[in-house]
């Protein structure tokens, strides 16, 4: 059975009237719509059709002459408790059409963007608010890159999704290429946490936990993990300066060292670069056939990948056991 979507805002038979008596003008008549949680909703109409009036009525700037406005199931038009009124002011905001009244031209972009967050989380410092925006960019970018590929990641779409301007993006990242590398660094942290959680599970053997971890990476798309294709790797590498690429490499090596530490494997028994190549080669074959490796047999790709993971886990298990025997 499909899960029902949560209605966040509902407008029912809404009427808004300007003036009274003979001078009364019905700006909105019997408007009805619902906005669901997580949904982007567009209200379209000609100039003067009442779009802004509806927005002002939702924000309680204008009184309503009929109908209901429900927010999270509570009626918010007309007379309401003070606590609910404060909640509406804090949780629903409006950007007016006049930029001179909406944006303070003397304020820095970081302040303008962080102002909304300051209203919701007044306990955060300026540095913490900026870190929240930076983290939102990385989280949103990873989600987009997983679903569309790294080449499908566009700055305009990313900035719009987070609610910032394109120039403000460069407050945090030097370029889209730099952003791509920092996304991968963020993902490495997530993968280490994933392995820690997997190994901490009380049921199952060490081998089963490790195999589950690598299978999760292998099925990266359905598990929200970014894995670049050969073409994306080549494209990103071509747009990086040699210096920036070399700056990125130690983080790669450190990730596999930390991975080995969690797996209880010594560096003396397996160089982190070797483990990296083993993992990447498995991903390469799984992701590249049949597009760029047409002489492989795509019909048996799943079996091949499963064997790759088995061989890798057995090899790592032998290294772990060798350490115990010393």
Domain spans of the chain, in order of start = 7-94, 109-168, 190-325
CA distance 175 to 153: 13
- Secondary structure letter of residue 300 according to DSSP: G
Nearest to 26 by CA among 65, 56, 79, 77: 65
- CA 52 to each of CA 17, 58, 62, 67, 98: distance values in angstroms, whole numbers, following the listed order: 13, 10, 10, 17, 12
Q: For the chain, what percent of residues have pLDDT higher than 90?
A: 47
CA distance 226 to 21: 63
> Are the beta carbons of 270 and 207 closer than 8 angstroms?
no
Nearest to 190 by CA among 145, 255, 278, 284: 255
Q: Is the pLDDT of residue 119 over 70?
A: no
> Are the beta carbons of 138 and 125 closer than 8 angstroms?
no
Greatest mean pLDDT range, 125-134, 222-231, 303-312, 317-326: 303-312
CA distance 277 to 8: 48
183 pLDDT band (50/70/90 cuts)? very high
CATH classification code of 7-94 = 3.40.50.300
Residues 23-39 pLDDT 10s: 788 889 999 999 998 88
Residues 25-76 pLDDT 10s: 888 999 999 999 888 899 988 888 889 899 989 988 889 999 999 999 999 9
Q: Is the pLDDT of residue 1 over 50?
A: no
């Amino acid at each position: 059975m499909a899960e029902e979507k949560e209605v966040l805002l509902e407008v029912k038979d809404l009427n808004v009237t300007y003036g009274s008596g003979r001078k009364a003008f019905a700006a909105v008549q019997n408007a009805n719509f619902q906005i669901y949680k997580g949904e982007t909703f567009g209200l379209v109409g000609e100039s003067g059709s009442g779009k802004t009036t509806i927005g002002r009525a939702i924000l309680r700037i204008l009184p309503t002459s009929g109908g209901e406005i429900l927010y999270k199931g509570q009626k918010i038009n007309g007379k309401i408790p003070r606590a609910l009124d404060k909640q509406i002011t804090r949780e629903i905001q409006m950007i007016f059409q006049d930029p001179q009244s909406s944006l303070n031209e003397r304020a820095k972009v970081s302040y303008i963007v962080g102002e909304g967050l300051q209203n919701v989380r007044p306990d955060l410092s300026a540095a913490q608010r900026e870190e929240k925006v930076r983290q939102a960019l990385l989280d949103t970018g990873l989600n987009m890159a997983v679903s569309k590929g790294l080449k499908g990641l566009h700055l305009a779409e990313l900035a719009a999704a987070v609610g910032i301007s394109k120039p403000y993006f460069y407050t945090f990242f030097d370029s889209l290429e730099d952003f791509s590398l920092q996304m991968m660094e963020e993902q490495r942290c997530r993968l280490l946490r994933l392995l820690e959680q997997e190994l901490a599970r009380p049921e199952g053997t060490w081998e089963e936990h490790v195999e589950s971890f690598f299978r999760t990476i292998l099925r990266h798309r359905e598990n929200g993990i970014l894995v670049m294709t050969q073409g994306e790797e080549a494209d990103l590498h071509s747009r990086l300066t040699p210096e920036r690429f070399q700056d990125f490499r130690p983080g790669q090596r450190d990730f596999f060292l930390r991975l080995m530490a969690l797996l209880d494997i010594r560096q003396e028994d397996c160089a982190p670069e070797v483990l990296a190549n083993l993992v990447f080669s498995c991903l390469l074959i799984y992701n590249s056939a049949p597009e760029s490796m047409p002489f492989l047999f795509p019909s048996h790709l799943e079996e091949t990948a499963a064997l790759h993971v088995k061989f890798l886990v057995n090899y790592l298990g032998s290294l772990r056991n060798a350490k115990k025997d010393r």
